[in-house]
């Protein structure tokens, strides 16, 4: 296999038909919340694109983010690795070890300086000079600073690399911080979640390949197409919330009837993620569909905010009704919606902050 050939050349070698590739692109367009008619343009752009070199660094983490990626279904992990990108370094998935593994990273950095994508999962411990987590005798801090220098962009995968996550929970003995606390001069996209949704990881990579840019991001650097709405905005139990029908325990009649889990501590109203639409395990289900409230895993302060079974105290605004009101108002709709979006994100952050103070 030739290194960094175009995706079109790679597919032609494998005898993959244009029809099959278009089907693949239609699925990707839907993942990226693009209209289906963009699929053909996307197929052309992807076919011409050169597979970018990707260096994946895993720091202070549980390997859940990589586990999540291996559950990706569109595209499959094999096609992601061998067709769309050139995964030149990944601790967990690479065959090489020891000096050979480190040489792969150094070669990719040298050969694709300024062009490679750096993916990071896990937080970075900075206490004691970073000694709490090392790879090949070097601290995570050192490796991140070195590898970030030549990266075109950084994708922080998971809540640990996006916001600090569980390692950052009090008392945080290792001084765990997020990638954005260390690297300030590179574009960073946060794909938060504990773990993140695999389709979101592949969707962001596909967007980069197709358009050569990172997707539109929210105030916390998360892709808007996946994190632009809350779980609550898209939850199938929402009609019960609006009717005031709440389960009081996990096994009462309300729970059996699929009523809203707000009073059992669901954090869906303040959590931005795509679980309610993308779902998990090939679109099979998501936590609320399985009968458990959202824990707010894709927001800052996840874990320390706690209160997993304590109802949110902050008032919840009916976003869809407010949006409809703005639409009826006619002129200035775009302005109204964007400020609504910003207010919504701010309110969610404030609710999490409030909860943190109340619970600790």
Q: Which stretch binds ligand SF4 (CB under 6 A): 3-11, 39-47, 143-151, 267-275?
A: 267-275
268 within 8 A of 235, measured Cβ to Cβ? yes
**CA 255, CA 246: separation in Å to the nearest integer?**
8
**Interaction of residue 351 with ligand SF4, rule CB under 6 A:** no
List the one residue out of 5, 191, 196, 155 whose CA is nearest residue 82. 5
Residue 6: strand pairing partners: 50
Specify the residue, 124 or 260, whose C-beta has the smaller distance to ligand SF4.
260
Residue linked to tokens 């593994």: 101
Distance of closest approach, residue 261 Cβ to ligand SF4, in angstroms: 4
**Interaction of residue 271 with ligand SF4, rule CB under 6 A:** yes
**CA 300, CA 315: separation in Å to the nearest integer?**
19
**Interaction of residue 268 with ligand SF4, rule CB under 6 A:** yes
The three state secondary structure string of 294-328 is: CCCCCCCCCCCCCCCCCCCCCCCCCHHHHHHHHHH
**CA 98, CA 136: separation in Å to the nearest integer?**
7
Distance of closest approach, residue 275 Cβ to ligand SF4, in angstroms: 3
- In this structure, the dihedral spanned by the alpha carbons of residues 29, 33, 38 and 40, taken in order and rounded to 10 degrees, is 0
Distance of closest approach, residue 194 Cβ to ligand SF4, in angstroms: 6
Distance of closest approach, residue 221 Cβ to ligand SF4, in angstroms: 17
**Interaction of residue 64 with ligand SF4, rule CB under 6 A:** no
Distance of CA 31 to CAs 59, 84, 292, Å? 28, 16, 25
**CA 240, CA 258: separation in Å to the nearest integer?**
8
**Interaction of residue 196 with ligand SF4, rule CB under 6 A:** no
**Interaction of residue 237 with ligand SF4, rule CB under 6 A:** yes
By beta carbon distance, the residue nearest ligand SF4 is: 268
* Interface with ligand SF4 in residues 124-163 (CB under 6 A): none
* Interface with ligand SF4 in residues 280-319 (CB under 6 A): 286-288, 293-298
Mask 164-193, x = binds ligand SF4 (CB under 6 A)? Answer: -----------------------------x
Distance of closest approach, residue 280 Cβ to ligand SF4, in angstroms: 7
Distance of closest approach, residue 264 Cβ to ligand SF4, in angstroms: 8
Residues 6+ apart with CB under 8 A from 119: 54, 55, 56, 57, 154, 155, 157
**Interaction of residue 232 with ligand SF4, rule CB under 6 A:** yes
Specify the residue, 69 or 144, whose C-beta has the smaller distance to ligand SF4.
69
For binding to ligand SF4 (CB under 6 A), which residues are involved?
A: 193, 231-232, 235, 237-238, 241, 260-262, 266, 268-269, 271, 273, 275, 286-288, 293-298
């Amino acid at each position: 296999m030739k290194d960094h050939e175009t995706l079109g050349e790679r597919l032609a070698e494998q005898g993959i038909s244009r029809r099959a590739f278009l089907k693949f692109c239609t699925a990707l367009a839907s993942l990226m919340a693009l209209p289906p008619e963009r699929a053909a343009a996307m197929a052309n752009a992807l076919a011409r694109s050169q597979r970018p070199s990707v260096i994946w660094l895993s720091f202070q983490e549980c390997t859940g983010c990589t586990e999540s990626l291996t559950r990706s279904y569109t595209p499959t992990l094999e096609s992601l690795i061998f067709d769309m990108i050139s995964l030149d370094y990944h601790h967990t998935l690479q065959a090489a070890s020891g000096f050979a593994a480190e040489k792969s990273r150094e070669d990719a950095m040298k050969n694709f300086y300024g062009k490679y994508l750096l993916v990071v999962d896990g937080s970075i411990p900075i206490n004691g000079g970073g000694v709490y987590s090392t790879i090949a005798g070097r601290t995570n801090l050192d490796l991140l600073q070195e590898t970030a220098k030549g990266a075109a962009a950084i994708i922080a995968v998971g809540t640990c690399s996006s916001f600090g996550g569980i390692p950052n929970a009090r008392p945080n003995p290792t001084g765990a911080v997020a990638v954005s606390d260390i690297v300030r001069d590179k574009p960073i996209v946060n794909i938060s979640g504990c773990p993140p949704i695999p389709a979101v990881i592949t969707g962001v990579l596909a967007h980069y390949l197709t358009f050569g840019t990172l997707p539109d991001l929210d105030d916390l650097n998360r892709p808007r197409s996946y994190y632009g709405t809350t779980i609550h905005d898209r939850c199938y139990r929402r009609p019960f919330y609006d009717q005031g029908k709440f389960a009081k325990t996990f096994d009462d009649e309300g729970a059996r009837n699929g009523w809203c889990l707000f009073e059992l501590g669901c954090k869906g109203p303040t959590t931005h993620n795509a679980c309610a639409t993308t779902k998990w395990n090939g679109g099979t289900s998501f936590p609320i569909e399985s009968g458990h409230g959202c824990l707010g895993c894709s927001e800052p302060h996840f874990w320390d905010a706690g209160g997993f079974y304590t109802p949110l105290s902050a008032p919840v605004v009916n976003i869809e009704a407010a949006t409809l009101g703005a639409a009826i108002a006619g002129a200035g709709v775009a302005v109204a919606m964007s400020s609504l979006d910003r207010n919504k994100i701010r309110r969610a952050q404030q609710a999490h902050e409030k909860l943190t103070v109340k619970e600790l």
